[in-house]
Amino acid sequence: MIGKEGVIVPLTMLPVGKNAVIVDVVGGEGIRRRLAEMGLIRGATIRVIKNDIGPLIIALGESRMVLGFGMAQKIMVEER
């Protein structure tokens, strides 16, 4: 899918060091609420710190978060 500035992909597809904006969270109310409580909402800018074997580590502002692969797969982002 193509967004305003680029291609929209799952967070798991981004390489280390890339910045992205959250476009959508594909999932039920529970996962949407949990991610929103962590600050991962539509329009938030994140940066990928680690994306290899195991969980992803992302930066949201000065905070670092660890996300399991399955949860990260539900976060749709647009690379910036």
Q: Which helix (H) or strand (E) holds 66?
A: strand 63-67
- Give the pTM: 0.89
- Tokens representing 23 are 């476009």
The closest alpha carbon to 70, from 36, 30, 40, 27, belongs to 27
2 pLDDT tier (thresholds 50, 70, 90): low
CATH classification code of 8-79: 2.30.30.90
pLDDT computed for residue 49 by the predictor: 97
